[in-house]
């Protein structure tokens, strides 16, 4: 912009129309270097330095949020600005004590919103005039159906995708403070760098809102750690995939479901966050079914399995708090798991009895004869949790009692007994063995307030030979 006084106006603004005579006074005095008009090139006609800014390029680059705006440019840089109309402010800003006096207009009038901050235009302007996207653009022919074209190019998980237009991606990127070209993770199996922008593109395709993006970014970071081992999780022929749950105030801020049907359909945040992670693994990392993803049968959760913990009504500290996070910390946890299996117990009233009942169902996770090497998540419903809480049991006490109730005589689960080949090696016979290690069972409180049902999410091979459960704090 030229040095001097520069104004931004639009005809569809009462204050801009009001101060048009003032602009003419300044122009006549040789004080105006330029006037940018946003919506009508004839508005301000006759001014000596009128610029048509219908494309809003100048307004966008100048960060104009209100019109009229009057700026002072010195050596090509903004030195100061004022917005709206105030006779005293304009007089002091311009150095013309009589500014506006000859026009006989009111002493004060607020401005209007600039077209460059119109919610319908912001994303398009960002895509057009911003830093630009580094990702390769794919242009479809005018006769192509974008949804079908994305299917044909192998980007889909089997469901329709939202076309990731530059405008939609720009809106998605507004959900984080991270730079679009920051590398979030190196994604297996092809070990491709996933930038914030590439994650945002897949989040658009998954159907996410911008406010979900920080959760998706953190999930991608967690999944691509050596501890979680997403490469191994893809390669296994077991029907497992990343299972996500979220803790912290962000659950309510983005509208996640931790009540009725929280593991099912109906909530956009739950479904699209998990889906976005899977699309990043597929489209950035190359983890496609039939290729590196070798699951024998898979499970519906591999489309995206994400929910939140019910913290407000939980009788115990949340899962994240049990790891040492504060109540205001927002976290996402990734667990390598199967689809959920329902546990029904509508009759047991004592905590001891319910612990034994849940244990009997947990014994069958993966296989009744698989012990110690596997883990599980117990999604405990409010009514089941109340049985333990009403008896004064802590979460730790509850987990300990459930694991103790899974202990079985090893002689019964040795390979070959009862003609069943699956089981533990014969050298382990003679000792009672629990289903899980002390840290192998996790309890997450979630579900509808009515219903004596809980859910088991069986895991995959745990530890260094498989995957560790990983929790990361979410940052904006």
Instruction: Tell me the CA end-to-end span of the chain in Å, nearest whole number.
Output: 34
Q: Are residues 90 and 237 in the same domain?
A: no
Average pLDDT, the chain: 94
CATH number for position 86: 3.40.30.10
Task: Examine residue 14 and say whether the peptide bond preceding it is cis (omega within 30 degrees of 0).
Answer: no
Q: Residue 138: inside a domain, yes or no? A: no
Euclidean distance between CA atoms 279 and 285, whole angstroms: 9
Euclidean distance between CA atoms 172 and 110, whole angstroms: 32
Q: Are residues 331 and 395 in the same domain?
A: yes
pLDDT of 265 reads 95
Q: Are residues 54 and 160 in the same domain?
A: no
pLDDT, average across residues 179-202 = 95
Inform me whether the pLDDT recorded for 132 exceeds 80.
Answer: no
pLDDT, average across residues 91-100 = 85
Q: Residue 281: inside a domain, yes or no? A: yes
Q: Residue 131: inside a domain, yes or no? A: no
Q: Are residues 100 and 233 in the same domain?
A: no
Last residue within a domain, chosen from 118, 135, 167: 118
Q: Are residues 282 and 392 in the same domain?
A: yes
CB of 369 closer than 8 Å to CB of 413? yes
pLDDT digits (tens, 9 = 90+) for 303-316: 999 999 999 999 99
Q: Residue 334: inside a domain, yes or no? A: yes
Inform me whether the pLDDT recorded for 470 exceeds 70.
Answer: yes
Q: Are strands 241-247 and 305-308 parallel, antiparallel or unpaired?
A: parallel
Inform me whether the pLDDT recorded for 96 exceeds 90.
Answer: no
Domains in the chain, number: 2
CA 361 from centre of chain = 33
Could you please report the per-residue DSSP string of 5-23?
EEEEE-SS-HHHHHTHHHH
Inform me whether the pLDDT recorded for 277 exceeds 70.
Answer: yes
Q: Number of C-alpha atoms within 13 angstroms, CB side, residue 296? A: 4
Q: Residue 124: inside a domain, yes or no? A: no
Q: What residues make up the domain containing 346?
A: 146-473
For residue 73, give both structure tokens: 């440019």
pLDDT of 128 reads 82
Euclidean distance between CA atoms 276 and 201, whole angstroms: 9
Measuring CA to CA, how many Å separate 52 from each of 24, 370, 377, 476?
17, 73, 62, 37
pLDDT digits (tens, 9 = 90+) for 2-45: 999 999 999 999 999 999 999 999 999 999 999 999 999 999 99
Inform me whether the pLDDT recorded for 292 exceeds 70.
Answer: yes
Inform me whether the pLDDT recorded for 133 exceeds 80.
Answer: no
Buried b (16+ CB within 10 A) or exposed e, 320-346: bbeeebeeebbbbbbbbbbbbeebebe
Q: Are residues 87 and 193 in the same domain?
A: no
Inform me whether the pLDDT recorded for 127 exceeds 90.
Answer: no
131: pLDDT confidence band, cut at 50, 70 and 90? Answer: low
The alpha-helical segments, DSSP class H, found in 246-362 are 250-253, 268-283, 319-322, 351-362
Measuring CA to CA, how many Å separate 233 from each of 69, 206, 225, 314?
56, 21, 12, 31
Last residue within a domain, chosen from 68, 102, 118: 118
Q: Are residues 449 and 355 in the same domain?
A: yes
Q: Residue 134: inside a domain, yes or no? A: no
Q: Residue 129: inside a domain, yes or no? A: no
Phi, psi of 284 (to 5 degrees): -95, -50
Q: Are residues 183 and 97 in the same domain?
A: no
Q: Are strands 331-344 and 470-473 parallel, antiparallel or unpaired?
A: antiparallel
Q: Are residues 166 and 22 in the same domain?
A: no
CB of 15 closer than 8 Å to CB of 111? yes
> What count of other Cβ atoms lies within 10 Å of the Cβ of residue 88?
12
Q: Are residues 269 and 332 in the same domain?
A: yes
The alpha-helical segments, DSSP class H, found in 294-394 are 319-322, 351-362, 382-390
Q: Residue 283: inside a domain, yes or no? A: yes
Euclidean distance between CA atoms 388 and 165, whole angstroms: 51
pLDDT of 429 reads 86
CB of 375 closer than 8 Å to CB of 436? yes
Q: Nearest CA to 31 among 51, 8, 7, 13?
A: 7
Q: Are residues 113 and 162 in the same domain?
A: no
Euclidean distance between CA atoms 31 and 71, whole angstroms: 12
CB of 215 closer than 8 Å to CB of 201? no
Residue indicated by tokens 């607020």: 110
Q: Are residues 157 and 98 in the same domain?
A: no
Euclidean distance between CA atoms 314 and 448, whole angstroms: 12
Inform me whether the pLDDT recorded for 204 exceeds 90.
Answer: yes
Euclidean distance between CA atoms 217 and 198, whole angstroms: 10
């Amino acid at each position: 912009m030229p040095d001097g006084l520069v104004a931004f106006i639009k005809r569809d603004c009462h204050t801009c129309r009001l101060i048009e005579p003032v602009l003419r006074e300044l122009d006549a005095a040789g004080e105006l270097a330029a006037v940018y008009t946003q919506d009508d090139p004839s508005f301000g006609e006759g001014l000596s330095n009128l610029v048509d800014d219908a494309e809003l390029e100048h307004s966008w680059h100048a960060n104009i949020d209100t019109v009229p705006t009057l700026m002072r440019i010195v050596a090509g840089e903004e030195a100061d600005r004022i917005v709206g109309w105030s006779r005293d402010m304009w007089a002091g800003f311009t150095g013309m004590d009589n500014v506006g006096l000859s026009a006989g207009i009111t002493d004060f009038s607020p401005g209007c919103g600039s077209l460059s901050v119109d919610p319908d235009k912001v994303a398009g302007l960002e895509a057009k005039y911003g830093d630009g996207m580094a990702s390769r653009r794919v242009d479809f022919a005018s006769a192509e159906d974008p949804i079908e074209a994305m299917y044909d190019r192998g980007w889909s998980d089997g469901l329709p995708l939202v076309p990731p237009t530059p405008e939609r991606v720009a809106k998605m990127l507004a959900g984080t403070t991270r730079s679009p070209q920051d590398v979030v993770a190196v994604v297996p199996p092809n070990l491709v760098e996933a930038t914030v922008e590439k994650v945002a593109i897949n989040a658009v395709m998954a159907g996410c809102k911008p406010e979900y993006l920080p959760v998706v970014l953190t999930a991608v970071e967690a999944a691509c750690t050596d501890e979680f081992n997403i490469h191994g999780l893809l390669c296994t022929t077991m029907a497992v995939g990343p299972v996500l749950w979220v803790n912290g105030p962000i659950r309510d801020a983005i509208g996640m479901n931790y009540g009725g049907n929280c593991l099912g359909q109906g909530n956009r945040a739950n479904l699209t966050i998990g889906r976005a992670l899977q699309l990043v693994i597929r489209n950035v990392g190359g983890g496609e079914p039939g290729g590196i993803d070798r699951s024998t049968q898979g499970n519906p959760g591999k489309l995206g399995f994400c929910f939140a913990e019910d913290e407000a009504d939980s009788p115990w500290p949340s899962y994240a708090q049990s790891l040492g996070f504060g109540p205001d910390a927002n976290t996402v946890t990734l667990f390598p798991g199967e689809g959920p299996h329902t546990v029904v117990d509508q009759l047991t009233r004592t905590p001891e009895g319910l612990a034994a009942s849940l244990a009997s169902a947990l014994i069958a996770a993966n296989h009744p004869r698989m012990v110690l090497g596997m883990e599980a998540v117990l999604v405990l419903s409010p009514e089941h949790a109340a049985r333990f809480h009403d008896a004064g049991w802590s979460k730790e006490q509850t987990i300990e009692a459930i694991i103790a109730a899974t202990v079985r005589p090893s002689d019964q689960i040795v390979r070959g007994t009862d003609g069943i080949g699956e089981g533990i090696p014969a050298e382990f016979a003679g000792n009672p063995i629990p289903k899980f290690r002390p840290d192998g069972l996790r309890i997450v409180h979630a579900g509808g307030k009515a219903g004596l049902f809980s859910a088991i999410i069986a895991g995959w091979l745990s530890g260094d030979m498989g995957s560790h459960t990983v929790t990361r704090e979410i940052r904006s």
